[in-house]
Homo-oligomer: A and B are copies of this chain.
Amino acid sequence: MMPTAPRPLSPVLALDIGGANVKLADGVGYAANWPFPLWKHPKDLAEKITRCLAKAPSAESLVVTMTGELCDCFETRAEGVRSIVAATMEAAGDRSVSFYQTNGQFVSSGEATEHPLLAAASNWHALAMVAARYCETEPGLLIDVGSTTTDIIPLIASKEAAQGRTDTERMLSGELVYSGVERSPVCAVVSHLPLRGKDCPVAQEFFATTADAYLLLGELPENPADVNTADGKPFTCAAAHTRLARMICADRGIVSMHETLDFAESIRNTQVDRIEKAFRLVVAAMPVEPQTIVLSGHGEFLARRLLERLDLPLRIFSLTEEWGPVVSRCAPAHALALLALDALK
């Protein structure tokens, strides 16, 4: 057996604490994504982080970014930030910890708690700052399509140049589209689905998610062990067929797999429409049109659909290709680790 090359040791470990996942990366190749429904178990966060850290390479310093403060277990985002900061400090033990703010600064837990809205929803900023390195001379745009949200961030002169800072401001500017390729409820994405030459209204009910559509379209792989679906049944094509049929109060006896494939295409087209609208809003606010597009996120396939549709002469970088799929799945954590490593230099 060949010995595997030892992984280089990094002095930092970055954590991205979201509402549904805790992601870790060390900037030199290690990355891990641990599902954790924070909104259901806010009190277990410190324990979860402790377990994640135990499995990760050891590092003297932790750097932290978050989006989990929006979870509905928290009354306000300030309360969410305080709670996430406290859980991280509890889990960190002797390690030094700093929190990343949307102004690009690393601060102490005390400062993060004092200015919670600067630490809130900060992970897009870390990713954009690193993506901006691909746009030194000509303006560009980061399109990061994730499971729940999509970020569209202007990149100018090696820096992010977003109009909005908070999530609300970013939704208004088009820089945040709160729609993604896995967790978005189908009833939020589409109001109708095509059925035998007609448009059938959909049930306003959490019966299926966008992941079901992309599974049928071959963009996401089957995973029978994953029951983190709308009905708690496996993430398989057969179960996705059932879930999508239920969106029009039907079942697999009434609507064929082929017909739910039409549903899936309609869901995809509607999501691309929405992202296109936001893209145009963001580009219209830029001083110059972007020349480069940096793609990121495991919903990259959706951004590529948009670019095909736009058919513009753009240079395209894919962080999934640059970093590989495992690291790319934790792109904001990896980006944050890179920023922290630079800060240490």
Q: What residues make up the interface of A, taking CB atoms closer than 8 Å to B?
A: 39, 70, 72-73, 75-78, 121, 148, 166-168, 171-172, 176-180, 183-185, 187-189, 195, 198, 200-207, 230-233, 242-243, 246, 248-254
Q: How far is the CB of A65 from chain B (nearest CB, A)?
A: 16
Identify the closest chain B residue to A74 (Cβ): B251
Q: How many copies does the complex hold?
A: 2
Contact of A188 among B75, B121, B204 (CB under 8 A): B204
Please tell me if the beta carbons of B78 and A253 are within 8 angstroms of each other in the complex: yes
A243 contact set on B, CB distance < 8 A:
72
Please tell me if the beta carbons of A178 and B205 are within 8 angstroms of each other in the complex: yes
**Residue of A176, A189, A246 most packed against chain B (CB within 10 A):** A246
Q: With A178-B201, A184-B204, A204-B179 in contact, do A168 and B250 touch (Cβ < 8 Å)?
A: yes
Please tell me if the beta carbons of B242 and A75 are within 8 angstroms of each other in the complex: yes
12 A-B pairs with CB atoms under 8 Å apart are: A39-B231, A78-B253, A148-B205, A168-B254, A172-B201, A176-B249, A178-B249, A179-B204, A185-B204, A188-B204, A188-B205, A189-B204
Q: How far is the CB of A124 from chain B (nearest CB, A)?
A: 12
Contact of A246 among B70, B202, B248 (CB under 8 A): B70
Q: How far is the CB of A125 from chain B (nearest CB, A)?
A: 15
Known: A168-B254, A188-B205. 17 other contacts (CB 8 A): A70-B249, A72-B231, A72-B233, A72-B246, A73-B231, A75-B251, A75-B252, A77-B253, A121-B249, A168-B248, A172-B195, A172-B200, A178-B203, A184-B204, A185-B205, A187-B188, A189-B204
Q: How far is the CB of A14 from chain B (nearest CB, A)?
A: 23
Identify the closest chain B residue to A73 (Cβ): B231
Q: How far is the CB of A342 from chain B (nearest CB, A)?
A: 30
Give Cα distance in the complex from A121 to B249, angstroms: 10
Identify the closest chain B residue to A78 (Cβ): B253
Give Cα distance in the complex from A204 to B179, angstroms: 6
Q: How far is the CB of A324 from chain B (nearest CB, A)?
A: 29
Q: How far is the CB of A157 from chain B (nearest CB, A)?
A: 28
**Residue of A168, A179, A243 most packed against chain B (CB within 10 A):** A168
A172 contact set on B, CB distance < 8 A:
195, 198, 200-201
